[in-house]
Chains A and B, each alone.
Chain A
Amino acid sequence: MEPLLEVRDLKINFYTYRGVVKALEGVRFSIGQGESVGLVGETGCGKSVTARAIMGFVEPPGKIESGEILLEKDDLLKYSERDMRKIRGRKISFIFQEPKKALDPTATVGNQLMEAATVARGMDRAAAQALALETLEQVGLGDAQRVMQSYSFELSGGMAQRVMIAMGMVGGSRLMIADEPTSALDVSIQAQILRLLGEIRSKQNSSLLLITHDLGVAAENCDRIIVMYAGRIVESGPVREIFREPAHPYTVKLLNALPAPGKTRLEAIPGMVPDLVDPPAGCRFSNRCDRASEACSKLPPLAQIGPDHAVACIHPMRVPAKAET
């Protein structure tokens, strides 16, 4: 199957007064048509930067040093800012963590949605209004007429996130990038929004790149998982294999650190995430890994260990599936 989006060897640096922060180093992955991919990792691992790079949101002091971002074989990194505007909203939509900050506070929801429809699809106002109303109903905002006339401050967090999703749908994009779409919401609202994203995806056969720090959210909503650590992909594979048979020691430790019923102690990961100004040579997890050896001072390549399952580790582990309760 042709991937919808392919990221190849993406390298991003941030030039700060402290030195060059090597935020991303050689990230490569692809997203297929209709696929839901979860990008997981802890703070500072580069998951948001990856998403922002796809949208063309990397600004100084950040710089994309090398790599390709291919959307249906077109390299987005070669696009001008003007051309990128034609991509955003039409081909790729972005769902922000804090929808109330991402929406325009001075325009009604209706005007923002209609603007998206007229600009992206060249519709006239009447058609745009009809589409906006219909989309709001599709995202579960029953009182669409009233929501159209509301400003973002009049909406709750959950409603605002539904509006964001509607904006993405109005432009007709095939790929939704959601950066922690539910981290600011309560669990019952989170469940509603995640369910909505899943429904839209299956209805429109669109793809989703879901960025989250919550492994539970990733496990329940993604087909494939990419685990990042300190600016690199350490493991990627089908969701079941990642959670049942993780191969990278970091993935294993991350899963063991989660509070779960039946555990009396959580497994802590010793040490801290390395400073990306001066990361350890070779494997960036080696200074916290109990399986590390001399060989880990060389960069481990992302090697296939199964169909569609790759791991960047010289000493990968295959831990048998843990008993779940």
Chain B
Amino acid sequence: MTEKARKQTESPAQDADPLIDVRGLGMSFPVRNSASLPWETPPVVRAVNNVSMAIRANEIFGLAGESGCGKSTVARLVMGLIDPTEGEIRFRSRPIQDYSASEIRPRVQMVFQDPYTSLNPRRTIGRIVGDPLIIHTGMNASQRRERVMQVLNRVGLADYHYDRYPHEFSGGQRQRIAIARALILDPEFLVLDEPTSALDVSVQAVILNMILELQAEMQLGCLFITHDLNLMRFLAHRTGVMYLGQMVEVGPTQDLFDDPLHPYTRALIDATPQPDPDRVNAQVPLEGEIPSNINRPTGCAFASRCPVRIDGTCERVEPELKPVGSRLVACHLHHPAEAST
């Protein structure tokens, strides 16, 4: 494949660079509701606020956080589906907006959460999986058919599935189809937005195993988004935790789970139920709920719920994401020097 050749022509120096480099990413959406008047400036939701991260080739980067924390917005930004209001995203050291759609689509692909709505119900599997080949390659019909079959077999589907429609498949099989569609052009980077949250445990296991295999085999860089920390711990090489649009902690998954530095990371880990009846969970669950993204609290976004808040500092000064050992943490507890300023 030409894609394989392309990967080899990339110089080693470039390979050391991150595949995706996100710097100071911010995304604000205006919210107009029926109560707002045309001449008023609508309030703004800061869905993503100053997020930086780097994802290397052949790495699964996990993004965790609760609903509304901005993780799916980050996925859409990284895909180039929406343009950021602040900051930039570089793919192979070049801003992602500089790529044309025909340049970027074969290289960056996505698997969506809900396999029941992400496949066109009126098209056959052959069409769904094979369409990218029509758009991005000069293959003729028989070459395309052969390639589609090859990818379908790779994700565990049979040749006779080619002419079937999505409604004939179970949830797990549909997610296989979605993965086949994402992989048909042999991409370098894959965004997976909660790919197994609609599936049962036993089916999830099959899909996760397959994602891991394919990732290693194709040396894919992956952005894996999930709210399930057990899942994150199982498959991500590095993990980022988001809260209210901000990255609060990033680091190697094992370090982050063994010794969470940010109080929010710790609380999330404690709150995640484990299939272990003897686990003593003496931790008091976090109080309160995630504050509104429209009227963001000043200072640390987590301060209102933080059990170890430093009064006088955390509500006033916004902590920056700074290195602590192998990790980056945005918390005054770990940067006391800055807190006093």
> Which residues does A use to contact B, with CB under 8 Å?
42-43, 156, 158-159, 186-192, 194-195, 213-221, 239-240, 243-244, 253-255, 257-261, 263, 265-269, 272, 324
Contact = CB atoms under 8 A, between A and B. Distances in A.
Interface string B75-95: 000000000000000000000
B339 interface: no
B67 A267 contact: no
A191 B270 CA distance: 9
Given A258-B275, A260-B234, A187 B268 contact: yes
A239 B279 CA distance: 12
Contact of B278 (A43, A187, A215, A240): A240
B260 to A, nearest CB: 14
Given A188-B286, A213-B200, A257 B205 contact: yes
B230 interface: yes
B40 interface: no
A106 to B, nearest CB: 19
A213 B277 contact: no
B204 A220 contact: no
Contact of A216 (B230, B267, B286): B230
Given A257-B205, A266-B208, A272-B170, A220 B273 contact: yes
B100 interface: no
B202 A268 contact: yes
| 3 closest cross-chain pairs (CB), A and B | A216-B273, A259-B234, A191-B285
Contacts of B281: 220
A121 to B, nearest CB: 31
Interface of A is mostly: helix
B139 interface: no
Nearest to A43: B200
B328 interface: no
Contacts of A239: 277
B53 interface: no
A191 B288 CA distance: 12
Given A217-B273, A239-B277, A268-B209, A156 B289 contact: yes
Given A260-B234, A266-B209, A186 B66 contact: yes
B206 interface: yes
A156 B234 CA distance: 31
Contact of B227 (A187, A194, A214): A187
A266 B205 contact: yes
A259 B230 contact: yes
9 contacts: A159-B289, A188-B268, A188-B285, A190-B271, A190-B273, A258-B275, A259-B230, A260-B233, A266-B208
A187 B66 contact: yes
Most-contacted residue by chain A among B66, B205, B229, B257 (CB, 10 A): B205
A61 B294 CA distance: 46
B268 A259 contact: no
A291 to B, nearest CB: 16
Q: Which of A158, A195, A214, A257 has the most C-beta atoms of chain B within 10 angstroms of its own C-beta?
A: A257
Interface in B279-316: 279, 281, 285-287, 289-290
Nearest to B269: A187
B54 interface: no
Nearest to B172: A272
B337 interface: no
A268 B211 CA distance: 13
Contacts of A261: 230, 233-234, 257
A258 B230 CA distance: 8
A43 B235 CA distance: 24
Given A219-B274, A219-B277, A257 B227 contact: no
B217 interface: no
A260 B230 contact: yes
Contacts of B120: none
A259 B202 contact: no
Contact of A158 (B200, B227, B278, B289): B289
A244 B267 CA distance: 26
A66 B204 CA distance: 35
B279 A188 contact: no
B196 to A, nearest CB: 9
A45 B148 CA distance: 35
Contacts of A194: 273
A193 to B, nearest CB: 9
Interface string B155-196: 000000000000000100000000000000000000000000
Given A190-B271, A258-B230, A267 B278 contact: no
B259 to A, nearest CB: 14
A257 B202 contact: yes
B35 interface: no
A102 to B, nearest CB: 19
A186 B227 contact: yes
A219 B275 contact: yes
A220 B279 contact: yes
A272 B287 CA distance: 41
B153 interface: no
B272 interface: yes
B201 interface: yes
A184 B206 CA distance: 24
Contacts of B234: 259-261, 263, 266
A28 to B, nearest CB: 24
A84 B278 CA distance: 39
A154 to B, nearest CB: 13
A269 B205 contact: yes
Contacts of A219: 273-277, 279
